């Protein structure tokens, strides 16, 4: 929920509220955030990120489930890792990818819920 007055605003989010100071962006951070959204603008990359919401996933599993080639999934994951949207963990010979952190999880999960809502 967004509360506005002439001085400042606070966005109510769980588990804490975000203040105006926490929402300010330097030019470098604005560019970094815009790049994250640009990466998520590709439907295949977005589907890969959504897939990682379910827990750690291997490239092969995601490729099969999403109908993409393993090399394309790997390429997308490399970009998503560089943007800190997903992280990788090695288990034996395989690498599993998961959502980077709770911030990314909330943004993606909230937007998925939003697009799945019935229009008013």
Q: Where do the structural domains in the chain lie, given as residue ranges? A: 25-116
pTM: 0.80
d(CA 65, CA 24): 39
Q: Give the residue carrying structure tokens 């955030």.
A: 33
| DSSP tag of 68 | -
Tell me the per-residue pLDDT of 49-60, one tens digit each, with 9 for 90 and over: 999 999 999 999
Tell me the per-residue pLDDT of 13-37, one tens digit each, with 9 for 90 and over: 545 566 666 778 999 999 999 999 9
Q: Which fold has domain 25-116?
A: Arc Repressor Mutant, subunit A (1.10.10)
């Amino acid at each position: 929920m967004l509360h506005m007055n002439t001085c400042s605003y606070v966005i109510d989010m769980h588990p804490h509220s975000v203040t105006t100071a926490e929402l300010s962006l330097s030019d470098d951070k604005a560019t970094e955030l815009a790049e994250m959204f640009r990466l998520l603008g590709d439907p295949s990359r977005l589907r890969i990120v959504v897939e990682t919401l379910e827990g750690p996933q291997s490239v092969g599993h995601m490729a099969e489930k999403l109908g993409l080639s393993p090399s394309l999934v790997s390429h997308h994951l490399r970009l998503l890792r560089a943007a800190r949207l997903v992280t990788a963990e090695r288990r034996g010979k395989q690498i599993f990818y998961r959502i980077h952190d709770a911030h990314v999880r909330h943004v993606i999960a909230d937007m998925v819920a939003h697009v799945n809502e019935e229009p008013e």
